[in-house]
Amino acid sequence: MKRRSTASKEEILEVLAASGNALSHEMIQDRVSSAMDRATIYRVLNRFCEDGKVHKVVGDNGKQYFAMCANCDEKKQLHSHNHIHFRCLQCGTVECLKQALSVPLPEGYVAKVHNLVISGFCKACS
């Protein structure tokens, strides 16, 4: 499963990097120059996630958002995204907050994925 470099891949990555936020499939489709199929976008994004370049958050609206990994260990196995995300109910932006959050779970519980989202009004909209 070697990865190949394609126009779609690079453009999506540029869009994510330029934005700095977590973007939904739709947001990405809007910001991409060339028309790109929905399935393709999802496949590219999921591949990025596998490769540890990108991480995914599911909003309290049920939608998936994808953001570039910032401080992640390059080791794809254990990049823990235990930081908070903020989704603005007004403008729709989803930001990765700096806040890393370590939650002590009860005995016997094993954490695999953190999906922490607070929604409200962002700095610009409040």
Footprint (CB under 5 A) of Zn ion, residues 47-106 = 88, 90-91
Smallest distance from the beta carbon of 11 to a copy of itself, in angstroms? 26
Size of the site for DNA (CB under 7 A): 28
Tell me, what DSSP letter sits at residue 6?
-
At residue 85, what are phi and psi to the nearest 5 degrees?
-120, 145
Cβ atoms of 32 and 12 closer than 8 Å: yes
Please give the torsion angle defined by the CA atoms of residues 54, 89, 116 and 42, in that order, rounded to the nearest 10 degrees.
-30
Q: Which stretch binds a copy of itself (CB under 8 A): 11-19, 29-37, 41-49, 105-113?
A: 105-113
Closest Cα partner for 16 from 64, 63, 53?
A: 53
Does 97 help bind a copy of itself (rule: CB under 8 A)? yes
Cβ atoms of 115 and 87 closer than 8 Å: no
Binding mask 48-67 for a copy of itself (x = CB under 8 A): ----------xxxxxxx---
Closest Cα partner for 69 from 113, 107, 32, 16?
A: 16
Please give the residue ranges that form the binding site for Zn ion (CB under 5 A).
Answer: 88, 90-91, 122, 125
Please give the residue ranges that form the binding site for Mn ion (CB under 5 A).
Answer: 67, 96
Please give the residue ranges that form the binding site for a copy of itself (CB under 8 A).
Answer: 58-64, 84, 86, 89, 97, 99, 101, 103-123, 126
Please give the residue ranges that form the binding site for DNA (CB under 7 A).
Answer: 1-9, 24-26, 34-40, 42-44, 46-47, 58, 62-64
